Amino acid sequence: MSELGRRWGGWKMDGYVKAFILSSLASLLLGATLGLTMAVHDALHVDTWSNWTWLLLPSHTHLMLVGWVSMMIFGVGYHMLPRFSGVLVWSARMAWWHWGAAVTGLAGMATGFWLDRVAEGRGAWLVAAGGTLEATGFVLFAVNLLVTLWIAGAPRAPLVPSGALPLADRLAARAAEAPPAA
């Protein structure tokens, strides 16, 4: 095992971090599939009235931007910021609520954009509901990480002298001295 593997062996990825990363990768695959579908269909059917780019572009864009990029940022943020600050995420439950709101909102908006184009305006309510859920998720993420960083900035006695050991060693020493979780 490498030195890095030995140092970080005790740090596992939280379930909500995995959920965000897996959701990100699923959005990437679905968004890329929609993009390829638009490109191939429109290239092969130039003379038809059916313009798949017009039909699928809003859903494709939303899946790529909010689904792939934002979900990956959320997952990496929840994983790395606590490690940089040396404290746990303030609320794992809030992170799970964030994931539920983000995934449900993404699905609602992507479906609503498509339905809005197919059924001429009948998907607007789904876009609005999905957008509300996504915005709620964004607020949950911001609050959770702001409180986490606020806690990390609170004065506390260092367990090892600052700078004496690399961060991984300091975190391992702090974890070893911490009482076991209930």
Alpha helix ranges (H) inside the chain: 3-7, 15-44, 52-62, 71-85, 92-118, 124-153, 167-177
140 has a pLDDT exceeding 50: yes
pLDDT digits (tens, 9 = 90+) for 155-168: 654 554 555 556 66
Single-letter amino acid code for the residue at 177: E
Residue 118, pLDDT above cutoff 80: yes
Percent with pLDDT over 70 in the chain:
77
Per-residue pLDDT tens digits for 56-74:
899 999 999 999 999 999 9
The pLDDT value recorded for residue 170 is 61
The pLDDT value given to residue 49 = 60
DSSP state letter for 154:
S
pLDDT the model gives residue 2: 47
Cα separation, 42 vs 48, whole angstroms: 9
Sorting pLDDT into bands at 50, 70 and 90, what band is 105? very high
Residue 8 confidence (pLDDT) above 80: no
62-71, 72-81, 144-153: least confidently modelled range:
144-153
Residue 28 pLDDT exceeds 90: yes
Instruction: Please report how many Cα atoms fall inside a 13 Å half-sphere around the Cα of residue 180, on the Cβ side.
Output: 1
Q: What is the DSSP string of 43-83?
A: HH-TTSS--HHHHHHHHHHHIIIIIIIIHHHHHHHHHHHHH
Cβ of 164: how many Cβ atoms within 10 Å? 10
Domain definitions of the chain by residue range: 15-150+162-172
